[in-house]
């Protein structure tokens, strides 16, 4: 399937020095993809001069005169940076020239611009941030990771619908199991929002497993784990911190003296392959799900390989019809839960102001 991805070529900590080689590798591996690079004219053309000539025809260029800074308040980026590489990349989805956008820039600005320009999907109150995390069986899709600190039970249900559709698109799993993150498996546990969300999920027709706990994310108890953005963000960052600490401890032990350094040599390939399984670059690319377009946020510090994974994710979501799948699942859930006005047009149209 022919897929066109708009790339914020200037975004992230490294800008063109990462986005251009990543796009080049991505295009070489994905013959049906093409890319529109959005950025400052001269540096972008200069960087593109290094790209293999056979790939160059699949790269279009769109000039942007501004850049959204990493620490710029989202509201400022939205109001004042109308000619930024990020804004134009998203505009390209809106006007139909691209089906997806990938940016390593400011997350808050990307979400604000995405909501304003694209609006939210019908039936979705607020977009969420979703990503895949490794588990002992494969991967889990977890959302929300920080876009919404206070969520209603209906929003958690919407996250479940979106997570389910996203997992189908990315993992090819037609009926993913959904877990609701809680502090115990029993139905009596948790706060009121989670209890009400469990009731909605039970009657939603989705493949609802029930409550799961933090450890279930990495056990892989369910394919999707749903939570509010505060809890999801803490779970994700706690995990990042713990992995860093464990690497540090392993390093401490292996560099203690000449004997342990020798053992490290014997274990070199083993430790390398251990680290590879957890390599965050392979999981790079969070989906801003719920927008009327595929928008992928790459980590700001992404290198070539990591940014390439974010591009691949954008491609997969478009190629496997993620947006249509969400729409279909919203219809299906609405048929089961008539009391929940998931398809209330008024609500959906409020999306952009939220």
Element (H, E) at 144: none
CA atoms within 13 A on the CB side of 125: 16
Identify which of residues 60 and 250 has a Cβ nearer to a second copy in the complex. Answer: 250
- Tell me which residue of 211, 208, 133 sits closest to 177, measured CA to CA: 208
Q: By the 8 A CB rule, do 317 and 166 touch?
A: yes
Note the residues at the interface with a second copy (CB under 8 A).
134-136, 146, 149-150, 181, 183, 190-191, 213-219, 227, 229-231, 233-246, 248-250, 253-254, 256, 260, 262-264, 266-267, 270-271, 273-274, 277-278
Whole-number minimum distance, CB 176 to a second copy, in Å?
19
Identify which of residues 54 and 188 has a Cβ nearer to a second copy in the complex. Answer: 188
Whole-number minimum distance, CB 267 to a second copy, in Å?
5
Identify which of residues 175 and 238 has a Cβ nearer to a second copy in the complex. Answer: 238
Identify which of residues 149 and 352 has a Cβ nearer to a second copy in the complex. Answer: 149
Query: Reading across the β-sheet that carries 178-181, which strands appear in turn?
Result: 59-63, 33-39, 3-8, 100-103, 294-297, 286-289, 128-134, 139-143, 224-226, 178-181, 208-212
128-134 and 286-289 strand pairing: antiparallel
**Tokens of residue 242, six digits:** 């713990």
Whole-number minimum distance, CB 11 to a second copy, in Å?
19
Whole-number minimum distance, CB 23 to a second copy, in Å?
30
Whole-number minimum distance, CB 240 to a second copy, in Å?
5
Whole-number minimum distance, CB 130 to a second copy, in Å?
16
Identify which of residues 193 and 305 has a Cβ nearer to a second copy in the complex. Answer: 193
Whole-number minimum distance, CB 242 to a second copy, in Å?
5
Residue 228, Cα to own-chain centre: how many angstroms?
Answer: 15
Whole-number minimum distance, CB 152 to a second copy, in Å?
13
Distances (CA, A) of 328 to 174, 317, 323: 13, 15, 9
Instruction: Please tell me whether residue 315 adopts helix, strand or coil conformation.
Output: helix
144 cis-preceded (ω within 30 degrees of 0): yes
Residue 150 backbone class (left: φ over 0; alpha: ψ -120 to 50; beta: rest): beta
Identify which of residues 175 and 267 has a Cβ nearer to a second copy in the complex. Answer: 267
Identify which of residues 8 and 216 has a Cβ nearer to a second copy in the complex. Answer: 216
Residue 40 backbone class (left: φ over 0; alpha: ψ -120 to 50; beta: rest): beta
Beta bridge partners of 6: 36, 101
Identify which of residues 60 and 271 has a Cβ nearer to a second copy in the complex. Answer: 271
Q: By the 8 A CB rule, do 73 and 112 touch?
A: no
């Amino acid at each position: 399937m022919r897929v066109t991805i708009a790339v914020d070529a200037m975004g992230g900590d490294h800008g063109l020095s990462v986005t251009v080689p990543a796009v080049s590798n991505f295009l070489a591996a994905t013959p049906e993809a093409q890319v529109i690079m959005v950025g400052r004219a001269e540096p972008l053309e200069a960087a593109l001069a290094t790209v293999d000539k056979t790939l160059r025809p699949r790269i279009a260029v769109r000039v942007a005169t501004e850049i959204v800074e990493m620490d710029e308040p989202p509201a400022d980026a939205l109001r004042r940076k109308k000619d930024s590489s990020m804004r134009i990349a998203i505009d390209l989805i809106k006007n139909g020239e691209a089906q997806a956008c990938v940016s390593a820039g400011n997350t808050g600005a990307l979400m604000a611009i995405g909501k304003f320009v694209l609006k939210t999907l019908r039936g979705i109150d607020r977009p969420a941030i979703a990503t895949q995390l490794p588990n002992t069986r494969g991967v889990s899709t977890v959302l929300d990771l920080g876009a919404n600190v206070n969520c209603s039970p209906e929003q958690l249900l919407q996250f479940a619908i979106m997570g389910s559709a996203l997992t189908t698109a990315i993992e090819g799993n037609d009926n993913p199991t959904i877990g609701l993150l809680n502090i115990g498996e029993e139905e009596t546990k948790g706060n009121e929002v989670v209890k009400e969300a469990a009731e909605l999920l039970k009657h939603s027709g989705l493949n609802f497993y029930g409550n799961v706990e933090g450890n279930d994310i990495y056990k892989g108890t369910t394919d999707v784990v749903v939570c509010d953005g505060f809890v999801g963000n803490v779970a994700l960052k706690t995990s990042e911190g713990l992995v860093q600490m464990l690497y540090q401890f392993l390093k401490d032990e292996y560099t203690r003296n000449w004997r342990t350094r020798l053992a490290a040599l014997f274990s070199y390939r083993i430790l390398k392959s251990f680290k590879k399984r957890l390599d965050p670059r392979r999981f790079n690319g969070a989906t801003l799900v719920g927008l009327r377009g595929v928008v992928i946020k790459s980590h700001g510090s992404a290198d070539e390989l990591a940014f390439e994974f974010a591009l691949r994710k954008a491609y997969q979501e478009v190629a496997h019809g993620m947006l249509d799948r969400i729409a279909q699942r919203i219809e299906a859930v609405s048929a089961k839960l008539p009391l929940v006005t998931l398809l209330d047009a008024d609500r959906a149209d409020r999306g952009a102001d939220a």
